[in-house]
Amino acid sequence: MLLSDLQVKDIINIRNGNNLGRIIDAKIDETGKIIYFVAEEKKFIKKMTRGGESSFDFSKIKKIGEDVILVEL
């Protein structure tokens, strides 16, 4: 799977159902292992927070579906 395949999926937190936005970047170590993803928050969330970005570890992903990525944060 390519990073571009993941970037079109919404990220949903399974603890509270919040839509965290979409992946815009990834931090990868020298061996090619993904350390964490950076997500751009939805427009209405961006207005309430600073920066408009959040990150989560690869280990927080519980399921990658056709339309969404489920994470437990």
What pTM value is reported for the model? 0.75
pLDDT for residue 47: 47
pLDDT for residue 1: 77
Amino acid occupying residue 54: S
For 19-61, what is each residue's pLDDT tens digit?
A: 888 888 899 999 989 899 888 876 544 444 555 678 888 899 9
Q: Which CATH class is domain 3-63?
A: mainly beta
CB atoms within 10 A of CB 15: 9
Domain residue extents for the chain: 3-63
pLDDT for residue 4: 87
Cross-strand partners of 27:
36
Calpha distance 73→56 (Å, rounded): 8
